[in-house]
Amino acid sequence: MDLNKLSLKLNDLGADTKGGGKSSAAADKVVEEIRAKGGKAVANYDSVEDGEKLIQTALDSFGRIGVCVCVLVFTVVFVFLCTPDLIQRVHLRGSFLVTRAAWNHMKNQKFGRIIMTTSAAGIYGNFGQANYSAAKLGLLGLANTLAIEGRKYNVYCNTIAPVAGSRLTETVMPPDVVAALKAEYVAPLVLWLCHEDCQENGGLFEVLRWERTKGHTVRQKNKAMSPEAVRDHWDKICDFTAATRPSGIQGHVLLCAVIRFHFPCDSQALAVGQKVSTSLFTFNHTQCILYALGVGMSTKDPDHLRFLYENHPDFGCLPTFGVIASQAVLMEGGLSSVPGLGIDFTQVLHGEQYLELYKPLPTSGTLRSEATVADVLDKGSGAVLLLDVNTYNGDELLCFNQFSVFVVGAGGFGGKRTSDRVKVGFPPNLRAKQCLFPPRSQAALYRLSGDWNPLHIDPSFAAMGGFKQPILHGLCSFGFAARHVLKQFAGNDPSRFKAIKARFAKPVLPGQSLQTEMWKEGNRVHLQCKVKETDVVVLAGAYVDLHGESDAPLENLPQGGGLQSELVFAEIGRRIESLGSELVRKVNAVFGWEITKDGKTAAQWTIDLKSGSGSLHRGAGGGKADVTFTVSDQDFMEVVQGKLNPQKAFFSGKLKIRGNIMLSQKLEVILKDYAKL
């Protein structure tokens, strides 16, 4: 639709946000903007109660009136019993009088399009806005009748219930929300409803028939939103086959319009590398404990007490608590501070997460987080927003997080598909298993750590995102998986934790059990999580990096034959790498090693494999010497693949062993497994 073809008469009394005062400035500003873009516009500053005067200005300037859009906005939040007459006069009486003045002109010329502006406060009700709600719903009644009466004259009347940043809403909404709710998202809908080709009559938008359609992304590749796009997708916008019923005004504010927000709304404005915001996160042991409970720790397991009881001598945070401080910067409106970014929050899913700790997490304090947009990817079925967050304790960098936010249905904007900024995950290999059973109420508990997203608790909000029921927080499953690894491979010692990466491949429903399958390679534990009941992989391409592997107790490895033996052998090989040339000068391959410490012979050890069981006998020299097991990757692989007989490898010296003598018990176990191969 070409602005040049439109002539607009603009009325704005220029009152303040409570309806007082009068100024021509607001209307003049808009007239100037329209004229600057090549349109025709004229201002009128009369009260809406002088409807005849308003319409006369339009007739005098343009000779006819085809469209009447009543956008009367001001509100006063009063308790129920105070019913300011002004609210009724402006919203209801004002719209009525202006429309009545235009009505006969429209009827006579057999064309008219009328738009009434109601409000979610009228449709759903809103605390403290009894007067305003009544006036606004009265408008809907007026519009419905005009729609019926005007139909035979080609005078159609529709009602909109938009939310947008404006002079009014900036008094009641935080600035970041006002900035995100652009009037441009509402205007195309209004323009289409005003068009002579539009046959819609008696409709209510944002909500039709008290239900919300699934909506449709109308933004075209690399283009701003347009009324043509609304027209072209009208069927889908009004398609009620997947309709949901909003439960209250909160859902309305988050959804903003039946036409979904676009992502990114304005790819030009959304600069990669742009700072999102900085925030402070103050916490103490309460938040650490709440988080531990949120990811399923319980006093049933004595190992968990160190994360649940602040007076425990080893009390500490679970390493994945590192996501909580960093997430605060994005959850508290931070995302809305990014110019050019508008997100329909019902379509937001947590896509992937990377966390790396540089220092152990404190159990109290104030942490500062700084977030930047690392990249924006077009994944076809969705858009992925990569957000890098650095979190500091004073000047010290404590941890790094990369949040990957998947906005369903927002792809196809012509962006790139991959980025070298993504922290890559790997497919899992052989596995050890652990299973945990988060209870149904897990999401309700996890929310207390700061992610209040209604998707995880409110059935109607979840329905807007296309889910039959609320789903579990991605970071909650993430916390469960990290706990599995920490228990299995690091004796629950948080200081062993270095980093974690995971993709949220499919949603988890509260009450489903999470089974983690793991495979350790060197300091890296690859893992994937499945829902046990359905066998569906929900956390994919995931890994945890650990520190100081040589100190890890070997009994944490699964014991037994077959697969476990392979795990043990891999473990031996990796340990050797991590120990370097620390202790052993020479290994005397089969029946004894000459073990040296500081260059001197410390002990001799023999191994008797003849019995087939294999055991390690302590020789002379006491128990303080160090021994090391070594095997090259290649030899190890050959052993695993059955190409190299392990005993031969042993005899030929290809497999060498070094390690701490204190592990002798565990070495016995290893050798037993070894002998079974």
Binding interface with ligand HDC (CB under 6 A): 327, 330-331, 348-352, 379-382, 384, 403-406, 408, 417-418, 451, 453, 455, 471, 473-474, 503-507
Which helix (H) or strand (E) element contains residue 115? strand 112-117
CB of 81 to ligand HDC, least distance (A): 40
| Distance between CA atoms of residues 83 and 80, nearest Å | 7
SS3 349: strand
| Residue among 45, 124, 132, 446 flagged as catalytic | 132
Print burial letters for 436-459: b (CB count within 10 Å at least 16), e (below 16): bebeeebbebbbebbbebbbbbbe
Please state, in angstroms and as integers, the Cα–Cα distance from residue 342 to each residue in 248, 405, 555, 644, following that order: 22, 13, 51, 60
Contacts of 542 (CB under 8 A, 6+ apart): 425, 428, 481, 500, 501, 502, 503, 526, 527, 528, 529
One-letter amino acid at 234 equals W
Nearest residue (CB) to ligand HDC, 225 versus 538:
538
Q: Identify which of residues 90 and 348 has a Cβ nearer to ligand HDC in the complex.
A: 348
- Smallest gap from Cβ 325 to ligand HDC, in A, equals 12
Exposed, middle or buried by CB within 10 Å (0-12, 13-18, 19+), for 176?
Answer: middle
Q: How far is the CB of 150 from ligand HDC (least distance, A)?
A: 44
Q: What span, in angstroms and rounded, lies between the C-alpha atoms of 341 and 261?
A: 9
CB of 406 to ligand HDC, least distance (A): 4
Shortest distance, position 326 Cβ to ligand HDC, whole Å = 8
Residue 233 or 379 with smaller CB distance to ligand HDC: 379
CB neighbourhood size of 620 (10 A): 8
| Interatomic CA distance for residues 107 and 150, integer angstroms | 7
- Please identify, using beta-carbon distances, which residue of 451 and 635 lies nearer to ligand HDC: 451
SS3 of residue 169 by DSSP: helix
Name the minimum Å distance from CB 439 to ligand HDC. 18
Closer CB to ligand HDC, 111 or 467, in the complex: 467
Query: How far apart are alpha carbons 367 and 375 in whole angstroms?
Result: 25
Pairing label, strands 497-504, 396-408: unpaired
- Residue number with CB closer to ligand HDC (535 or 598): 535
Q: Please, what is the minimum distance in Å from the beta carbon of residue 387 to ligand HDC?
A: 7
Q: Which is nearer to ligand HDC, 209 or 417 (CB)?
A: 417
Tokens representing 271 are 């600069």
User: Is residue 132 annotated as a catalytic residue, yes or no?
Assistant: yes
Backbone φ and ψ of 7, nearest 5°: -120, 125
**Helix, strand, coil percentages, rounded to 5, for the chain:** 35, 25, 40
Query: What residues are annotated to the active site?
Result: 132
